[in-house]
C-alpha cells in the first residue's frame, strides 16, 4: 500500500511508539542496575563498569547503524519497517534479562550479561530508526521543533509512569515473577506500538540525496556534537546523584517528580520562545533557569519542600529546553537522504557521554569517605558535583547562544551574513532633445 497518510495519523502513531520506547529505556535504567547487584551479586563498582561499558557499546552500534543505513533508508516508510522488525527481538532480550532471578544461581551472571549484550546490540535498530523519523517526516524547522517538543512531553510522561510503578516494586522487594510481569508489559507495549507505527501508509517517495560537502551538509555539526557530549555528561552526573540526594539529604523525591513536570509544561513555551525570539535568546533563558537551580542547591532551601519543587521545575525546564535545542539543531543540519547517519552519530555521542557520566559518578563517590551519605552536607564533593553539573549545562547553553549570534553576524563560512548596503543612485538629468 502506497500513498501518504494524514499528518495527524503519522504524528499520533509516532508519539505512541516513542512513549513505548521511552518506557522501555527508563525501565531498563532501573532494572539493569537492580538485578546486577541483587540477583547477580555484583558490587556497585563492577555494576557501574558493566553498565557503562555496555552503554558505550550501544552508542558505537548507533554509529554503525547510522552509517550502514546511510543511503539505504531514505524515506519514512523504510525507517518504520526497520524499527518494527527489530522491536520484537529487543523486547525478547529485555524480558529474558528480567528473568535472571529465575535462573539457577551459577548461571545468572552469564545469562544477565548475554541478554544485556543482546539488548544493547539490537536496541539501536529501533532507536535510530524512530529518531530518524523527525527529519524524514519534514524538513520544516518550526514543525520539527513542535514534533520534538511533543516527543519530549511524551518521554516525560513515560518517565513519570515508570517512577510511580517502580517505587513500590523496588522498595517493597516483590517476588521475581512480579518484575518479570512488569518487564513483559513494558516490552510488549514497545513492540506493539512499534508495529502500529508501521501500519499507516507512509510515503515511499525517497528523500533527495544531497552530495556530501555541499551547503546541505552543515560544517558546524561537530559543534552540536561537542555541546551534546558536555551536556549529557553533566546531566548523567546530576540525575545519577538524584536518588542519593533524595535518600540522604532531602528525604523526598521532589526533584525527580517536579523535574518531569517542569519538562512537560515548558516544552510548548520553548517552542514559542524559539519561534518568536530566536534560538539564541531562548538558550539564554535556559541557562538562567539552570543557574537558578544551582544557586538554590547551595542555599538553605535545598532540602525544603518548596525549594525542591522550584529546583525540580527549573531544572526540568532548563534541561529539556537544552535537549530540544540540540535535537532541533541536529535535525536542521541533517542532509536529506542521509538523515539516519546524522541521527546515529548524534545518539552515539549521547550514549558515549552517558557512559562517561556513569563512570564519573562512580569516581566521585569512590573519592568521598562516606560516599553518597555526604550529600546532606552542601560543601561535600558529591553536593558540589551536582551544583557543578548544573553550572556546566548553563555554560553549554550560553556557549551555543554566543555561537548562534556569531553565525548570524558572520555566516557559517566566515563571510558577512548581513545583506549588502543598497548602493545610492544619483539621478541623471534628461538630456535636452535636439531641435527638429
Alpha-carbon distance of 267 to 39, in angstroms, equals: 39
Least confident among 309-318, 330-339, 387-396: 330-339
State mean pLDDT over 56-83. 87
Asked if 223 and 403 touch (Cβ cutoff 8 Å), the reply is yes
Q: How many other CB atoms are found less than 10 A from the CB of residue 145?
A: 24
Distance CA 48, CA 42 (A): 10
DSSP string, 372-395: GGGGGSTTSHHHHHHHHHHHHHHH
Radius of gyration, CA atoms only, the chain:
24
What would the mean pLDDT of 287-306 be, rounded to a whole number? 84
Which of 51-55, 95-99, 274-278, 393-397 shows the highest mean pLDDT? 393-397
Name the residue with higher pLDDT: 39 or 400.
Answer: 400
How many other C-beta atoms are found inside a 10 Å radius of the C-beta of residue 415?
7
What is the spatial distance between Cα 419 and Cα 354, in angstroms, rounded to a whole number? 42
Mean of all residue pLDDT scores within the chain: 81
pLDDT at 309: 86
Distances (CA, A) of 227 to 82, 87, 105, 394, 396: 29, 30, 44, 11, 6
pLDDT tens digits, 215-269: 444 578 899 999 999 999 999 888 877 767 766 666 666 677 788 889 999 999 9
Q: How far apart are the C-alpha atoms of 199 and 10, rounded to whole Å?
A: 10
pLDDT digits (tens, 9 = 90+) for 349-365: 998 998 888 888 877 87
Residue 304: all three cell numbers together? 525544603
**Inter-residue contact 56 to 358 (CB < 8 Å):** no
In angstroms, rounded to a whole number, what is the distance separating the alpha carbons of residues 155 and 232? 16
Euclidean distance between CA atoms 390 and 380, whole angstroms: 16
Nearest to 243 by CA among 254, 258, 227: 254
Cell 554503525, located at residue = 64
Residue 6 CB neighbours (<10 A) = 10
Cα separation of 136 and 322, whole Å?
Answer: 22
CA–CA distance, 62 with 29 (Å, rounded to integer): 18
**Burial bucket for residue 134 (CB in 10 Å: 0-12, 13-18, 19+):** buried
Read off the pLDDT band of 209 (50, 70, 90).
very low
- Residue 139: phi, psi to the nearest 5? -105, 5
- pLDDT for the residue numbered 2: 43
What's the pLDDT band for 26 if we cut at 50, 70, 90?
A: confident
- Which residue has cell 549570534? 405
Distance in angstroms (rounded) separating the CA atoms of residues 359 and 366: 11
CB 185 within 8 A of CB 81: no
To which H or E segment does residue 330 belong?
Answer: helix 305-333
pLDDT at 203: 54
Amino acid at each position: 500500500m502506497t500513498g501518504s497518510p494524514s499528518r495527524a495519523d503519522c504524528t499520533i502513531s509516532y508519539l505512541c511508539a516513542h512513549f513505548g520506547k521511552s518506557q522501555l529505556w527508563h525501565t531498563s535504567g532501573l532494572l539493569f542496575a537492580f538485578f546486577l547487584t541483587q540477583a547477580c551479586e555484583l558490587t556497585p563498582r563492577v555494576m557501574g563498569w558493566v553498565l557503562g561499558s555496555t552503554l558505550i557499546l550501544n552508542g558505537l552500534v548507533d554509529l554503525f547503524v547510522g552509517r550502514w543505513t546511510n543511503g539505504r533508508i531514505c524515506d519514512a516508510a523504510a525507517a518504520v519497517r526497520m524499527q518494527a522488525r527489530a522491536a520484537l527481538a529487543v523486547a525478547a532480550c529485555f524480558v529474558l534479562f528480567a528473568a535472571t532471578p529465575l535462573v539457577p544461581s551459577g548461571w545468572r551472571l552469564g545469562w544477565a550479561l548475554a541478554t544485556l549484550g543482546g539488548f544493547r546490540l539490537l536496541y539501536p535498530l529501533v532507536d535510530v530508526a524512530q529518531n530518524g523519523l523527525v527529519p524524514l517526516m519534514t524538513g520544516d524547522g518550526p514543525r520539527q521543533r513542535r514534533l520534538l517538543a511533543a516527543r519530549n512531553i511524551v518521554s516525560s510522561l513515560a518517565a513519570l509512569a515508570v517512577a510511580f510503578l517502580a517505587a513500590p516494586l523496588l522498595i517493597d522487594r516483590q517476588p521475581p515473577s512480579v518484575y518479570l510481569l512488569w518487564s513483559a508489559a513494558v516490552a510488549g507495549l514497545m513492540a506493539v506500538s512499534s508495529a502500529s507505527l508501521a501500519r499507516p501508509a507512509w510515503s515511499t517517495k525517497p528523500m533527495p540525496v544531497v552530495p556530501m560537502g555541499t551547503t546541505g551538509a552543515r560544517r558546524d555539526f561537530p559543534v552540536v556534537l561537542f555541546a551534546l557530549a558536555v551536556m549529557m555528561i553533566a546531566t548523567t552526573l546530576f540525575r545519577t546523584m538524584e536518588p542519593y540526594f533524595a535518600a540522604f539529604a532531602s528525604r523526598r523525591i521532589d526533584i525527580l517528580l517536579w523535574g518531569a513536570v517542569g519538562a512537560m509544561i515548558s516544552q510548548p513555551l520553548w517552542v514559542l520562545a524559539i519561534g518568536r525570539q530566536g534560538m539564541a535568546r531562548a538558550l539564554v533563558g535556559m541557562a538562567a533557569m539552570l543557574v537558578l537551580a544551582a544557586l538554590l542547591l547551595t542555599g538553605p532551601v535545598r532540602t525544603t519542600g518548596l525549594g525542591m519543587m522550584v529546583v525540580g521545575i527549573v531544572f526540568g525546564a532548563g534541561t529539556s529546553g537544552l535537549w530540544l535545542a540540540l535535537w532541533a539543531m541536529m535535525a536542521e543540519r541533517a542532509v536529506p537522504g542521509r538523515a539516519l547517519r546524522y541521527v546515529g552519530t548524534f545518539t552515539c555521542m549521547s550514549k558515549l557521554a552517558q557512559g562517561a557520566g556513569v563512570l564519573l559518578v562512580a569516581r566521585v563517590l569512590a573519592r568521598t569517605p562516606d560516599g553518597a551519605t555526604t550529600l546532606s552536607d552542601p560543601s561535600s564533593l558529591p553536593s558540589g558535583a551536582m551544583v557543578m553539573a548544573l553550572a556546566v549545562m548553563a555554560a553549554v547553553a550560553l556557549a551555543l547562544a554566543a555561537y548562534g549570534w556569531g553565525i548570524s553576524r558572520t555566516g557559517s563560512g566566515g563571510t558577512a551574513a548581513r545583506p549588502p548596503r543598497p548602493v545610492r543612485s544619483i539621478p541623471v538629468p534628461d538630456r535636452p532633445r535636439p531641435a527638429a
